């Protein structure tokens, strides 16, 4: 796929960590990319596997980094997880290992927090991960709670390098209980279908932009989207060769789309 065909797409699903920013640093050229989206009347959605922040918090973070993006342009794995649980078991309760973005999303759809006899144990990214929370989660899963992960990412990028993500945090619970978690975020089709619906364009006229072969790119391929892999996050040109599939195009950074 050449860059002109990518530029001609009407809709863009775009990952955030490793594409738009690394930790608290905006990646070079991102302002130009967002300006290009707005000036060319593109439909776009920041579709992130991170569950730590709400759309409002993500908007405020980008504002602090000098980028103004409307709240309607954000959709997170926390929101996707809350939607999934509300559809599966309305009025259920959950023991949650995660940050306010995840807890708030669950509250918004009527899911109560419960550390005694919940129907679900839900795990997302958190800076407050500790042994006590692992023990409690293990005991609850052993008692029958179903184990849910907001996303299957093992690692994620920040300004200092690669850090553990949801799958790394949930794996001790899986190993101790012998139970496998169900992951809601990318590449799960549940989250991708919602993203495409929010864009309001046909999948053939949309593209997925991400930094991970194992979530972003495979999610785009399986959803019928064109895919663009950027080199500013987790994946590299060398790691691309480890997978049996390929992105439609490889870019050094998202600003390459602007030209």
Q: Which of the residues are catalytic?
A: 15, 17
Cα–Cα distance between 209 and 215 in angstroms, integer?
11
CB 240 within 8 A of CB 217: no
How far from chain centre, in Å, is Cα 162? Answer: 16
Q: State the number of CA atoms in the 13 A half-sphere of 71 facing the CB.
A: 6
Q: Computed from CA positions of residues 144, 148, 154, 156, in that sequence, does the dihedral angle turn out positive or negative?
A: negative
Maximal C-alpha separation, the chain: 56
Q: At 105, which helix (H) or strand (E)?
A: helix 100-108
CB 54 within 8 A of CB 100: yes
**96 bridge partner residues:** 122
**249 bridge partner residues:** 228
């Amino acid at each position: 796929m050449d860059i002109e065909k990518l530029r001609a797409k009407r809709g863009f699903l775009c990952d955030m960590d490793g594409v738009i920013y690394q930790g608290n640093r905006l990646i070079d050229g991102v302002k130009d990319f967002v300006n290009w989206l707005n000036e060319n009347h593109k439909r776009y959605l920041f579709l992130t596997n991170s569950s730590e922040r709400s759309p409002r918090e993500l908007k405020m973070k980008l504002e602090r980094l000098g980028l103004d993006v409307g709240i309607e342009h954000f959709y997170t794995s926390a929101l996707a997880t809350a939607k999934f649980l509300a559809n599966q078991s309305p009025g259920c309760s959950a023991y949650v290992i995660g940050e306010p973005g995840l807890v708030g999303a669950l509250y918004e759809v009527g899911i109560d927090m419960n550390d005694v006899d919940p129907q679900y144990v839900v795990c997302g990214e958190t800076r407050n991960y500790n042994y006590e929370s692992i023990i409690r989660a293990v005991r609850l899963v052993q008692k029958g709670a179903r184990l849910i992960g907001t996303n299957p990412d093992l690692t994620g990028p920040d300004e200092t390098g690669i850090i553990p993500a949801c799958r790394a945090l949930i794996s001790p619970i899986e190993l101790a209980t012998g139970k496998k978690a169900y992951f809601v975020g990318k590449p799960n089709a549940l989250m991708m279908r919602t993203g495409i619906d929010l864009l309001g364009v046909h999948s053939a006229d949309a593209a997925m932009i991400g930094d991970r072969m194992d979530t972003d790119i495979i999610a785009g391929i399986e959803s019928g989207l064109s895919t663009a892999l950027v080199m500013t996050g987790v994946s590299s040109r060398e790691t691309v060769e480890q997978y049996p599939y390929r992105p439609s195009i490889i870019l050094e950074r998202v600003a390459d789309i602007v030209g």
